[in-house]
């Protein structure tokens, strides 16, 4: 439905036009009140207009009030302070809002590609991949909710020197494997000669060895070159690396409720690079610098140094920037992207600023956004580590959250309430909810400190608390003898009214999170809704209410809370549970 915020904003703008302020449309914004004890919504437009035209803002606000009173008969409109315009909605206004269309407000649709996840082949998923996956998944769901055709691409790191290192490491360990016999005609074995765990052990060893031994490093570079030139044995071995890595990624991202439409890697774009470089050369924006091909990206308004983008290294190789440009090229031409959103570590901001500027030099008009997130830190305010100081694997973090959820359930629930399978499934969902909500409740750009016990609490601003609130309201509805309740009576108690208003504000909150690419806005609202319901639940008997009109009204409000909270949790990527 069209949000209350939007309805009021449209009325305010009509009043602007009547008063001759039509050129001040941006100021006509109405928002939820900063003082909910005083009013439901407010508009501060009179203050900004008064400053611009040199008129008393209180006088402007009073004129707006007079024009709006006739247009909004079910709203009490009054001026407070130096010119704040306040709106107090009547019960009838809220009832009418429920009757309006429940369709999601339309926005101009565009094909949107989300680039998030970004793990490397042959390495385990770790907590460093967490934020990209969780934030990207939520934003993807927001855009789909708004009706956009959306493509989610994991953009695997499956190319480069690390692949050559792994190949020579296996060659030294198992020289008799057919992959290293240049005369072997195939077919190559279907089963990988090494497990993912094996690759994860091999990589740090060979990486350190290459750093200490130049001849070994040269051998790795040669293997990388032969792989990229299509040597059959190396390609077959590389495909094994990719396949077993993807199986593990799908399992662990699946546990998080994170999914992708495309599992493309950097290798996919290598064939596009030569033509891409020629396109830049034809544009006349490529320069040679010490044997490398570079693009100057300096702009007049720059306040800090902007280094050139290296399109091609002096040794003929390519860096991530060239691969990312080739990726962007395919997304625009093959998948017809209108908007590409990158959810990547904030420390990559310069890299993507270079890529976006280079793309504009080639004439691309595709809209791009970079959501640069901060780090998840431990108690020492440094990036989260294991107790031994190593990088924590994502799988281990999820398992630890599940174990903590099982412990909490044993303290708060009767064991007879769950079968063993139910306990395991619910504990995993609670753990994932704790993890996701802990992350998403922070502005993406911020670092935050991960506190297992705090975020696993069934009280306070946590994922488990929201799940518990939903379980409670669903339990009430399941026990009710009225299966399709409706809003009855003429007058609502304050707690009933607050609950109805809060559910009606969902669409404007979703719209704000969508426009600002900010999942934490949804988290704030979900917690406020759960708290509002809790106050309503404490103040108003529901199942034991003897007055049938009151009972049905309160069951209707429970139903609205259930639907709304389910919608928000789904957008956050949090799965509900049936009991806790």
The DSSP H or E segment spanning 99 is: helix 91-99
Average pLDDT over residues 301-308: 93
Residue 557: which of 475, 481, 498 has the closest Cα? 498
Tokens at residue 190, please?
């279907």
- 80 SS3 class: strand
Can you give the three-state secondary structure of 227-243, one letter per residue?
HHCCCHHHHHHHHHHHH
Judged against a pLDDT cut of 80, whether residue 452 lies above it is answered with: yes
Dump pLDDT digits (tens) for 53-80: 899 999 999 999 999 999 999 999 999 9
Residue 380 is predicted with a pLDDT of 80
Choice among 149-158, 336-345, 483-492, 567-576 with the minimum mean pLDDT: 483-492
Query: Please, which residues bridge with residue 376 across strands?
Result: 448
Query: Please, which residues have CB within 8 angstroms of residue 249's CB and are 6 or more apart in sequence?
Result: 117, 119, 125, 154
The percentage of residues in the chain with a pLDDT greater than 70, rounded to a whole number, is: 97
Residue 227: which of 162, 157, 306 has the closest Cα? 162
Query: Please, which residues have CB within 8 angstroms of residue 52's CB and are 6 or more apart in sequence?
Result: 24
Distance CA 104, CA 539 (A): 32
Query: Please, which residues have CB within 8 angstroms of residue 387's CB and are 6 or more apart in sequence?
Result: none
Judged against a pLDDT cut of 90, whether residue 227 lies above it is answered with: yes
Burial tier of 225 (Cβ tally within 10 Å: 0-12, 13-18, 19+):
middle
Distance CA 137, CA 119 (A): 15
Judged against a pLDDT cut of 90, whether residue 142 lies above it is answered with: yes
Distance CA 58, CA 311 (A): 59
Specify the higher pLDDT residue, 504 or 452.
Answer: 504
Judged against a pLDDT cut of 70, whether residue 387 lies above it is answered with: no
Average pLDDT of the chain is 92
Average pLDDT over residues 123-139: 92
State residue 309 phi and psi, 5-degree precision.
Answer: -85, 130
The beta-strand segments (E) located in 363-432 are 367-373, 376-377
Cβ atoms of 228 and 212 closer than 8 Å: no
Judged against a pLDDT cut of 80, whether residue 414 lies above it is answered with: no
Compute the chain's Rg from CA coordinates: 29
Distances (CA, A) of 503 to 330, 420, 437, 510: 42, 36, 20, 12
The DSSP H or E segment spanning 41 is: strand 41-43
Residue 402 is predicted with a pLDDT of 94
Tokens 């799908």 locate to 250
Residue 515 is predicted with a pLDDT of 95
How many CB atoms lie under 10 A from the CB of residue 197? Answer: 11
Tokens at residue 17, please?
């036009």
Distance CA 144, CA 180 (A): 47
Average pLDDT over residues 457-466: 94
State residue 341 phi and psi, 5-degree precision.
Answer: -120, 120
Judged against a pLDDT cut of 80, whether residue 8 lies above it is answered with: yes
Dump pLDDT digits (tens) for 471-514: 999 999 999 999 899 998 878 999 999 999 999 999 999 999 99
Distance CA 442, CA 518 (A): 9
pLDDT band at 105 (very low <50, low <70, confident <90, very high): low
Distances (CA, A) of 447 to 95, 345, 375, 400: 42, 11, 5, 22
Query: Please, which residues bridge with residue 341 across strands?
Result: 114, 369
Judged against a pLDDT cut of 80, whether residue 12 lies above it is answered with: yes
Burial tier of 247 (Cβ tally within 10 Å: 0-12, 13-18, 19+):
exposed
The percentage of residues in the chain with a pLDDT greater than 90, rounded to a whole number, is: 79
Tokens 């009832």 locate to 95
- 271 SS3 class: helix
Tokens at residue 204, please?
């740090």
Residue 206: which of 162, 245, 239 has the closest Cα? 162
Residue 386 is predicted with a pLDDT of 58
Concatenated DSSP letters of 341-375? EEEEEGGGHHHHHHHHHHHHHTT---EEEEEEE--
The full set of domains in the chain, from first to last, is 4-99 (3.30.1360.70), 397-572 (1.10.730.10)
Distances (CA, A) of 152 to 111, 118, 366, 444: 11, 11, 17, 19
Average pLDDT over residues 13-21: 89
Judged against a pLDDT cut of 60, whether residue 389 lies above it is answered with: no
Residue 104 is predicted with a pLDDT of 60
Average pLDDT over residues 381-398: 75
Query: Please, which residues bridge with residue 262 across strands?
Result: 153
Average pLDDT over residues 39-55: 92
Distance CA 539, CA 11 (A): 35
Average pLDDT over residues 157-165: 92
Residue 103 is predicted with a pLDDT of 58
Tokens 């919504």 locate to 41
> What is the DSSP pairing of strand 112-115 with strand 150-153?
parallel
pLDDT band at 390 (very low <50, low <70, confident <90, very high): low
Residue 419 is predicted with a pLDDT of 87
Tokens 């917690």 locate to 527
Average pLDDT over residues 377-384: 79
Average pLDDT over residues 528-552: 96
Burial tier of 211 (Cβ tally within 10 Å: 0-12, 13-18, 19+):
exposed
């Amino acid at each position: 439905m069209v949000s209350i915020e939007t309805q009021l904003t449209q009325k305010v703008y009509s009043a602007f036009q009547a008063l001759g302020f039509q050129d001040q449309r941006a100021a006509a914004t109405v928002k939820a009140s900063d003082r909910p004890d005083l009013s439901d919504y407010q508009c501060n437009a009179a203050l900004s207009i008064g400053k611009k035209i040199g008129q008393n803002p209180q006088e402007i606000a009073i004129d707006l009030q007079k024009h709006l009173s006739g247009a909004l008969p079910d709203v009490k409109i009054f001026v407070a302070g130096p010119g704040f315009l306040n709106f107090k909605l009547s019960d009838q206004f809220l009832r009418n809002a429920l009757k309006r269309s429940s369709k999601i407000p339309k926005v101009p649709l565009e094909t949107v590609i989300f680039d998030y996840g970004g793990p490397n082949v042959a390495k385990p998923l770790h907590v460093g991949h967490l934020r990209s996956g969780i934030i990207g998944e939520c934003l993807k769901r927001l855009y789909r909710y708004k009706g956009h055709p959306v493509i989610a691409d994991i953009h695997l790191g499956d190319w480069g020197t690390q692949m050559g290192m792994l190949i020579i490491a296996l060659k030294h360990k198992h020289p008799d494997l057919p992959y290293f016999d240049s005369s072997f005609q195939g077919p190559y074995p279907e089963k990988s000669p090494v497990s993912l765990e094996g690759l994860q052990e091999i990589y740090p060893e060979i990486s350190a060895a290459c750093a200490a031994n130049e001849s070994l490093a040269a051998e790795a570079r040669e293997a990388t070159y032969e792989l990229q030139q299509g040597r059959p044995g190396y390609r077959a071995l590389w495909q094994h690396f990719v396949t077993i890595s993807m199986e593990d990624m799908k399992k662990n991202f699946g546990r998080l409720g994170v999914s992708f439409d495309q599992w493309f890697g950097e290798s996919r774009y290598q064939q596009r690079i030569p033509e891409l470089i020629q396109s830049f050369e034809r544009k006349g924006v490529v320069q040679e610098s010490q044997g490398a091909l570079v693009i100057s990206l300096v702009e007049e308004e720059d306040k800090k140094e902007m280094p050139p983008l290296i399109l091609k290294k002096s040794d003929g190789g390519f860096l991530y920037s060239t691969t990312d440009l080739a990726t962007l090229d395919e997304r625009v031409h093959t998948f017809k992207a209108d908007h590409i959103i990158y959810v990547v570590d904030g420390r990559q901001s310069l890299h993507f600023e270079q890529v976006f500027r280079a793309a504009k030099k080639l004439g691309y008009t595709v809209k791009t956004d970079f959501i640069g997130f901060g780090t998840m830190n431990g108690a020492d305010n440094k990036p989260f580590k294991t107790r031994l100081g190593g990088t924590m694997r994502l799988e281990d973090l999820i398992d630890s959250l599940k174990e903590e959820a099982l412990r909490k359930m044993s303290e708060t629930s009767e064991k007879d309430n769950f079968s063993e399978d139910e306990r395991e499934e619910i504990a995993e969902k609670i753990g994932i909810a704790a993890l996701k909500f802990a992350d998403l409740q922070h502005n993406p750009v911020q670092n935050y400190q991960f506190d297992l016990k705090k975020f696993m609490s069934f009280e306070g601003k946590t994922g488990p608390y929201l799940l518990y609130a939903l379980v409670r309201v669903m339990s009430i509805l399941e026990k009710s003898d009225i299966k399709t309740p409706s809003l009855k009576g003429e007058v609502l108690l304050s707690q009933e009214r607050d609950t109805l208003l809060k559910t009606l504000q969902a669409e404007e909150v979703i719209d704000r999170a969508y426009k600002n690419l900010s999942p934490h806005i949804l988290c704030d609202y979900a917690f406020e809704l759960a708290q509002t319901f809790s106050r309503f639940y404490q103040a108003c008997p529901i199942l034991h209410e003897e007055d049938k009109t009151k009972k049905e009204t309160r069951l209707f409000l429970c139903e609205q809370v259930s639907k709304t909270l389910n919608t928000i949790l789904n957008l956050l990527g949090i799965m509900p549970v049936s009991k806790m």
